[in-house]
Amino acid sequence: MGLHRRLNLLSNLLIFASFVLFANHFTLTYGKSNGTLHLDVTPINHDLYHTSGALLEEIESLVHRHPDKLSIEKVSSKNKGYEAQMTVVTYRQKWKESDDRTKLRILLTFGQHARELITTELALRLLSILSEEQFLPNVDRSTLNRTLDRLIIKVVPVENLNGRKRVEDGELCERRNGRGVDLNRNWSVDWGKKEKDYDPYEENPGPAPFSEPESQIMRKLSVSFEPHIWVNVHSGMEALFMPYDHKNTTPDGIPYQIMKSMLDDLNHFYLRDHCLVGSGGASVGYLAHGTATDYMYDIARVPMAFTFEIYGDLKASSKDCFRMFNPIDITSFNRVLNDWSAAFFQMFSIGVQQMDGVQSKAIASRFDNWVSIDDYLNGYLMHRKSRYAKKMEVLDLGLQEIRAYFRLFLLSSVLLLFMFCSRISKSTRPIVSGMSL
C-alpha cells in the first residue's frame, strides 16, 4: 500500500473516531425526550429515585414484612394486544374485623403520568409510615394509630407502569401510557373534547372512554372499593384541586364547603400556603376533559375527590422535563416527601372527624333516612342500592315490585279458591238441584 493511500486511510479513521466521540458527547449533553434531542436536559437522579422495578420490589418486601397491616395484589387488563399490570396495596390495621363498612375508605393513586417520578416516591414513603418503618416528626404514634384504626387505604403506587418504563429508557417528557394515550383524559366525563390549544402528545384521550387497560382497572377498583376519599397525585406545580377539571366551576353547597375547608387546612398548616386551592378548571389556566377526578366525583359519587400537585419547577425549560416535574437535589426531595406525608396523614384525620360528625347527626335525628316523594321521583330509586356506580335501574326495581304484587295475587287467588271449594263441599245438594232444573 502506497504512502498516499495510507495517509488517506488514517485520515478517514480519525474523522470517524471524531464523529463517534461527538455523537456520544451530543447524546450525553443534550439527552433524549419526545424522540428529539434538547440542550441541557437533566437526567434522572438515580441516587434519589428508584427505577419502577426497584420501587415495586421494595414495596413488595415492605408488605411481606408487615402482613398484619398490608396486603398486595397485582391486577392485569388487556385490550387489543396492549396489556397493563397494576400493583394495589391495601392498608388495614385489624384484618380480622368483618365490618369494614364502618371504616373510612381512601383510594390513592400515583404515577398516572409517567414522567412524574416524585409521586411514586411519595407512595413508598406513605406506605413506609403506615407500616411504622418510618415516622412523621412531632406526631404522637398512639394518636395516629387511633386514626388509622378507622381507615382502610388502597394505594396504587405506579398507575402507568408501561409509560414509566419509556421514561426510564430516555423519553423524559413522556406522560402517556405505553401506546400513547393520556390516562387522565381517558375517562368518560366530557371525554374527547379538545380545546384550541390541544396537543395530541400531551392530551391524547384515546379512541374511546376507558379504551386503556389502566383506566379500566382503576374504574373497577373504584366500583368495588367504594371510596369516601379519592386522591390522584401529580406533579408539575403545587396545588390542591377539587372538581371540576372540565369546567370553570366547583361543586355547590355543602360538598364544596367540606372539600374547601379540608384543602385550606392542609395548605395553611402543612404546605406553607404554597398551593393553589380550588377547581382544576378554574386554577390551572386551561380545561381538562375526561379526567379521573371528575369521573370519581360525578359518576362514582365519591364524596371527596381531589387532585394533588405536589411539586413543580416553574423556572425549568419546557424541554427539561425531569427538572420541571421532579426535585433534583436531596434537600428539595426530602422536603416534598416530608411536607406531603404530613399533609396526607392530616387529611386522614380530618376525614375521620368528618365521618364522626356525619354519624353523630344521623344518630341525633331519626328522620335523616326518610325520603320525600320528590327525592323518590327525582332519582332515589336509581341510587338507593349504592352511590358508587352500582346502581339498580328503575326498570329492575319496577320488575321486583311487579313480581311481589304477582306473588300476592297468586296467594290471594289460592286462598279464594280454597274458600270457594270449602263452600261447595258444605252446600252440595242445593247446587245439584239447581243444576237439574
Active site residues: 309
Based on the number of CB atoms within 10 Å of its own CB, is 434 exposed (0-12), middle (13-18) or buried (19 or more)? exposed
Query: What 3-state DSSP class applies to 261?
Result: helix
CA–CA dist 231, 241 (Å, integer) = 10
Query: What 3-state DSSP class applies to 153?
Result: strand
CA–CA dist 133, 107 (Å, integer) = 21
Contact status, residue 69 vs residue 93, Cβ threshold 8 Å: yes
Pairing of strands 104-110, 151-156: parallel
Based on the number of CB atoms within 10 Å of its own CB, is 341 exposed (0-12), middle (13-18) or buried (19 or more)? buried
> Could you tell me the end-to-end alpha-carbon distance of the chain, in angstroms, rounded to an integer?
141
Signed CA dihedral, 400, 402, 408, 413: sign only: negative
Contact status, residue 63 vs residue 35, Cβ threshold 8 Å: no
Question: Taking Cα atoms as reference points, which of 366, 261, 361, 313 lies closest to residue 116?
Answer: 313
**What does 17-52 look like in DSSP terms, one character per residue?**
HHHHHHHHHHHHHH-EETTEE-TTPPPP-TTT---H
Three-point CA angle 273, 334, 158, nearest 5°: 95
CA–CA dist 246, 191 (Å, integer) = 9
CA–CA dist 343, 266 (Å, integer) = 6
